[in-house]
Amino acid sequence: MHPLEVYGPGDALLAKLREVCLVFPEAVEAGGVGAPSFTVKGKIFAMQHRHEGRPSLWCKAPPGAQELLVGAAPERFFRPPYVGHHGWVGIWIDRDDVDWPHAADLVEESYRMSAPKRLVKQLDGRVG
């Protein structure tokens, strides 16, 4: 059995994660620990993990954001193991009411924290 069949988010959620994570300059999907990670220049800025039996998206967050998000909406956000002590935030993505625009904003912030300055400038130069 392929690891994505055990740990992955399923085809529909994987397509949504790709839509959110691969819009950034030079962002690529890479293998992870049985689930996809999204990287820029070899640095992970987002990853999908099954946590507590549920699919979730993990991304870097600025200082203080994790505590704010988890404190305000623990049914939507959590402190992920392994990387949570570095400020990463987990987003439950198996809910019917996932706020995908907010998740995309968090992923963009994570990308900006990970990408080289020239790619961030390229992102800033895009016309929305």
Domain region containing 55: 3-74+88-95+102-120
pLDDT grade, residue 9 (50/70/90)?
low
Distances (CA, A) of 70 to 62, 101, 123: 13, 17, 28
DSSP 1-55: --HHHHHS--HHHHHHHHHHHSSSTTEEEE--SSS-EEEETTEEEEEEEEETTEE
Query: Any idea what the CATH number is for the domain that residue 16 is in?
Result: 3.90.1150.30
The pLDDT tens digits of the residues spanning 90-108 come to 999 999 999 999 999 999 9
Three-state DSSP class for 103? Answer: helix
Contact 25, 126 (CB under 8 A): no
Q: How many separate domains does the chain show?
A: 1
Decide if 128 is inside a domain: no
Q: What is the pLDDT of residue 14?
A: 87
Is residue 82 in a domain?
no
**Could you report the per-residue pLDDT of 35-84, keeping only the tens digit for each?**
899 999 999 999 998 899 899 999 999 999 999 999 999 999 999 999 99
> Is 69 a domain residue?
yes
- Residue 83: inside a domain: no
In a domain, 112, yes or no: yes
Q: What does the angle CA 79 – CA 85 – CA 87 come to, to the nearest 5 degrees?
A: 70
Residue 125 lies inside a defined structural domain of this protein: no
pLDDT exceeds 70 at position 121:
yes
> What's the pTM?
0.89
Flag whether 126 is in a domain: no
